[in-house]
Amino acid sequence: MDDRLPPLPLDAWTDEQRRYAQKIIDGPRGALLSPFVPLLRSPELMSHVARLGEYLRYRSAIGRRLSEFAILLTARQWTQQVEWAIHAPIALREGVSPETVDAIAGGRRPLCMNDDEAIVWDFCDQLHRSRSVSDAAWSRAVERFGEQAVMDLVGVVGYYTLLSMVMNAARTAVPASTAAPMPPLPG
């Protein structure tokens, strides 16, 4: 399928697009990466999305490993290959086991998760599937991570759901990656 909103040539950018894009390029990402290519069509939206993502990805109270774990769960939920290609290698570097990454790719509950991953799995799985979280899953997460980290976890799921929707709708091209693409889910 063709990319509906491919990169725009630099000489076609408006002043507003340049101004907002430069803030992203000058930030921790260092470039206008995949989700921001289609979002460039709405520069102010792109700017707000980028700021939220900068906090969630680099400074959230849930921490990098569990954030990357939740990103993979969200990418799998949306079969979002761009996010998978970007974040599966990062999750591995942050300490998520290869067996866990493989299970998530296959749409299975990983068997080798540690306790904090199991808590995040249950929380995210419920949030994705039932659009809510049980009292038991909520209590376990708050007891283990605290309220701020749990709110940040909800933010990570919501943010990467938004990016998944943007890139699935735009059919954003998948970048080169060391990660194998996720297989289609059965059914």
Q: Are 185 and 107 in contact (CB under 8 A)?
A: yes
| CA dihedral over 153, 156, 159, 160, signed as positive or negative | negative
pLDDT at residue 186, rounded to an integer: 76
| CA dihedral over 133, 136, 137, 138, signed as positive or negative | positive
Confidence of residue 114 (pLDDT cuts 50, 70, 90): very high
DSSP conformation class of 181: P
Does pLDDT of 148 surpass 90?
Answer: yes
Confidence of residue 1 (pLDDT cuts 50, 70, 90): confident
What's the mean pLDDT in 66-95?
A: 98
The pLDDT tens digits for 120-135 are 999 999 999 999 999 9
Number of domains in the chain: 1
pLDDT at residue 14, rounded to an integer: 97
What's the mean pLDDT in 161-176?
A: 97
pLDDT at residue 185, rounded to an integer: 85
What's the mean pLDDT in 178-183?
A: 95
Structural domain range at position 127 = 1-187
Does pLDDT of 180 surpass 80?
Answer: yes
Does pLDDT of 187 surpass 80?
Answer: no
What's the mean pLDDT in 79-103?
A: 98
User: Could you tell me the CATH number of the domain that includes residue 45?
Assistant: 1.20.1290.10
What's the mean pLDDT in 95-121?
A: 97
Structure token digits, residue 40: 């460039």
pLDDT at residue 120, rounded to an integer: 98
pTM for this model (two decimals) = 0.96
Structure token digits, residue 54: 């900068």
Give burial (CB, 10 Å; 0-12/13-18/19+) of 89. Answer: middle
The pLDDT tens digits for 46-60 are 999 999 999 999 999
